[in-house]
Every structure is written in structure tokens, then in C-alpha cells.
Structure 1
Amino acid sequence: MTGFEGTTVTVAPAPADAADVRNLVGLVADLEQAQRTEDADGFLALFGPDAVWVTGAGRRLIGLGQISEFTRQVLPGAMSDGSVDYVVEHIAFITPDIALTGVRQQYLDRDGRPLATDGRGAPSYLWSRTGDTWKIVAGQNTAVLPG
């Protein structure tokens, strides 16, 4: 699978269950869509109740309550000047029910062009599965500096 800037999505250990890979890639797409449409409820539905989230500015949020409060403050209006693309670069299955997705994030202007500065991120999401449902249990939204 080709991804961000021609990268290939890698999966470890290989071979992994193709349905699990598709499911996790789809959940990252749901996260992207929630951000693009400023859908706080859709965004928050992807997190487990005890999740830990570190924002791009380094603020640590513990539990869905703190993540919700922050998200409801910053997500509305966040896409007023453009959009964002997410591409899964790597999936690491730590156990069959715990997976890490490494993502490339690119913010775009209103015309869909990549922002030249402060427009990239490299978030990681740690997912835990209960039954058939994957939820983010930890995440780090790391900004990528130009250069």
C-alpha cells in the first residue's frame, strides 16, 4: 500500500490478519474524517474511557473527560482555513488485541495544497480491542518541524 509522500505501509509482525489491518486503517480514516468535519463526538467515540492523549503542543490529557473538554474547545473551527490528510505508515501488533498505528498527518490550505510550515504531524495511536471494537487507549500527536 502506498502512503504519504510515496511511503509504504508496513505491518509487524508479518503476516498480520488482513481484516485487522483494514479495520485499523479504516479507524484512522474515521479519525481523519471527524477532524475534517470538526465532529467532536465522532472523534471522541474512538477513544477508550481511560485513554491518555498528548497533544501536538505537548499537553497530556488523562481520561476521556479531559480529552473531551480539550477537543470540544479546539476542534470547532479548526478546519476553517483548510483540511487535513492522514496516512497510516506503520501498524505494529504488540498482541493480537493491542496495536500501534504510526500515521503521517498533513494539513492543507483551502485549495488542498500542503501547508509549507507547521503543517505536518506524526501521530501514534495505541489501540486496544475488546470483542470486535478497537479504541484508542493512548496517543501522541507529534508535530514535525520543517527541514
Structure 2
Amino acid sequence: MTHPKDAEFEEIRRIVADIETGFNTKDAELAVRHFTEDGWSVGVTGVRIAGREPLLDAHRTGLAGPLRDLYARYRVGEIAFLRPDVAIAQKYAPATDAQGRPIELDHTMIALYVLVKDGGRWQVAARQNTMAPR
């Protein structure tokens, strides 16, 4: 494993923060901005969506539909650099109300991100969302 600079950790945390903001403000473009062109995501239902444009379409549909009244507070857990240009990061996303106050549900969301650095910029290559009991 490599020993990255603090700036690398912060950039990855900023990416996850942008995705959180996109989710909570229902801004599909912001929610997928940091994905690679061929990036993919697997949702809690097990559906895999590949490519930035299909991801954008799915986010537009989901955020305007079944996810429109859902909110979460994201917390980045462990970040590990597998190589200087490849990292994995865990994200925990307990549910909140629209004002960001925690709400009690019997589950929470956990995600694993695979990030790649290309042209000096970190991007999300893959994300796997999992629903976990609280």
C-alpha cells in the first residue's frame, strides 16, 4: 500500500460530499459528476447501471420519483489506496429528514466506491450500494 498525501484523502471526501449534496438537493448532474464516462453503479435492488449518461438518466428518474422524499447524511469511512491511482472508500449514509436531522429506520445504507486517478483528478469508476440493518 502507498502512503498518499492528505490532499488525496480530502479530494475523495469532497467527491463523496458532492454526491451527498446531489442526492439531498435532487441534483442528478451533481450526483454523477465525478463518475468516469464508463463508470457504473449497483443500487440496493441489485440493478447495475453502466455509463455516465445512463447513470444520469437513472438519477434523474430516481431523484424525481421514488427518492424525492428521501435524504441522508454521508460519512466517509475507511479510504485505502491500492495503488497511487486506485483507491477504495466506504461511505455510510443513515437516513435524515430534509433538514439533516437523523431519523430512525431499521436499516442504513453502506456503499463501496472504487476511485481512479486520471489526469491528476480522482473519479468514481464503480459504486456498490448495500442496505444494512441498523
Output the TM-score relative to the length of structure 1.
Answer: 0.81
Sequence identity (%): 28
- One of 106, 113, 118 as aligned partner of 1:125: 113
Aligned length: 133
Q: Which residue in 1 is equivalent to 2:15?
A: 27
- 1:93 equivalenced with 2:111 (yes/no): no
Which residue number corresponds to residue 68 of structure 1? Answer: 56
In the superposition, the TM-score normalised over structure 2's length comes to 0.88
CA contact (8 A) 2:62 2:68 kept: no
Unaligned segments of structure 1, at least 5 residues: 1-12
RMSD: 1.9
Matched, 1:108 2:96: yes
What is the CA-CA distance between 1:106 and the residue it aligns to?
Answer: 0.9
Seen in structure 2, the aligned counterparts of structure 1 residues 52 and 111 have a Cα distance that, compared at 3 Å, is closer
Of 98-107 and 117-126, the range deviating more from structure 2:
117-126
Contact 1:47 1:137 in 2 (8 A): yes
Secondary structure of 1:114's aligned partner:
coil
Displacement of 1:129 in angstroms is 1.0
In structure 2, the gaps of 5 or more residues are none
1:84 is aligned to 2:72 = yes
The one-character-per-residue Cα deviations of 1:61-110 (angstroms, maximum 9, x if unpaired) are 12223212211100125343x52100111001111111111011111124
Q: Is the 8 A contact 1:85 1:105 kept in 2?
A: yes
Maintained 8 Å contact 1:118/1:143: no
User: Contact 2:2 / 2:81 at 8 angstroms: preserved in 1?
Assistant: no
Cα separation, 2, equivalents of 1:135 and 1:68: 15
